[in-house]
């Protein structure tokens, strides 16, 4: 058995949302699936939904904990043919109004968490394996009200770009996904704290279902695609974000003025 063929799939943030749907679809294809998350209650609920899951409790921001959890998974299931860094946090808020610890938390989970996971998995991944990072449309341009979240996703994009070239000689493909708003617990939590201006700015792309996003990520990753941008809006941003950035800044400024914030 080589490559990603029916080798194990390791997924952080796999206890809910897009991560759980990725786990469901990979399990349906015959892959043993290990999910990593810090909330034991969510892990238990994930197993109730997918009894075949192997679960590992760890905080992705804690490098030794990630290394230990991934090591246990490799010992029990074997080296991963898929490693998907999906864990993340998103707390909308203005840059000057959020404390430094909020910015640090976003970088610790969204960026360092993915980095720790990649460092733990990559040495054991075989030729033909796939490493996937789940980023966000917020990695394309600065969005009003995402002062802590967007920079962490920009950083993740940079990491994926580097690993794309560094891991290629080992036969490991790297994919970076930019999901649009997706109906997940995280999106529901964001909605409770978004400002009116941020709500209007982010409302245009509609809301996707986790199953559709997961299906597209897996399909494109299997084809060796680096970037996955579901939907017309994300695709346009993928290819044209540098050209569109000035117009998008002016558009956001107008919304902020009209919203009074």
Which whole-number Å values give the CA distances from 24 to 52, 65, 122, in the listed order? 10, 25, 23
135 catalytic, yes or no?
yes
Residues 6+ apart with CB under 8 A from 38: 57, 58, 59, 60
User: Could you say which of 136, 144, 152, 153 is catalytic?
Assistant: 153
User: Could you say which of 135, 152, 173, 195 is catalytic?
Assistant: 135
111 catalytic, yes or no?
no
149 catalytic, yes or no?
yes
User: Could you say which of 144, 149, 152, 173 is catalytic?
Assistant: 149
Which whole-number Å values give the CA distances from 2 to 25, 68, 79, 127, in the listed order? 20, 25, 11, 7
Catalytic residues: 135, 149, 153
């Amino acid at each position: 058995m080589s490559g990603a063929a029916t080798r194990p799939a390791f997924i952080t943030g796999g206890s809910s949302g897009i991560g759980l749907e990725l786990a469901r679809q990979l399990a349906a294809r015959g892959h043993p699936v290990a999910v990593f998350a810090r909330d034991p209650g969510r892990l238990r609920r994930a197993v109730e939904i997918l009894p075949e899951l192997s679960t590992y409790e760890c905080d992705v921001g804690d490098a030794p904990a990630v290394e230990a959890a991934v090591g246990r998974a490799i010992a029990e299931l074997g080296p991963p043919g898929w490693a998907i860094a999906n864990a993340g946090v998103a707390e909308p808020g203005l840059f000057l109004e959020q404390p430094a610890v909020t910015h640090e938390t976003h970088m610790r989970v969204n960026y360092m968490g993915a980095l720790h996971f990649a460092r733990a998995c990559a040495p054991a991944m075989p030729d033909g394996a796939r490493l996937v990072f789940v980023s966000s449309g917020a990695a394309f341009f600065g969005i009003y009200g995402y002062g802590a979240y967007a920079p962490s996703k920009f950083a993740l994009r940079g990491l994926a770009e580097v690993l794309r070239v560094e891991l290629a000689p080992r036969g490991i493909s790297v994919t970076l996904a930019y999901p649009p708003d997706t109906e997940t617990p995280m999106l529901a939590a964001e909605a409770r704290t978004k400002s009116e201006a941020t709500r209007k700015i982010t409302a245009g792309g509609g809301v996707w279902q986790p199953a559709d996003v997961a299906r597209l990520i897996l399909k494109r990753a299997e084809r060796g695609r680096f970037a996955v941008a579901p939907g017309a809006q994300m695709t346009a941003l993928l290819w044209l974000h540098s050209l569109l950035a000035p117009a998008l800044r002016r558009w956001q400024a107008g919304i902020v003025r009209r919203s009074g914030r």
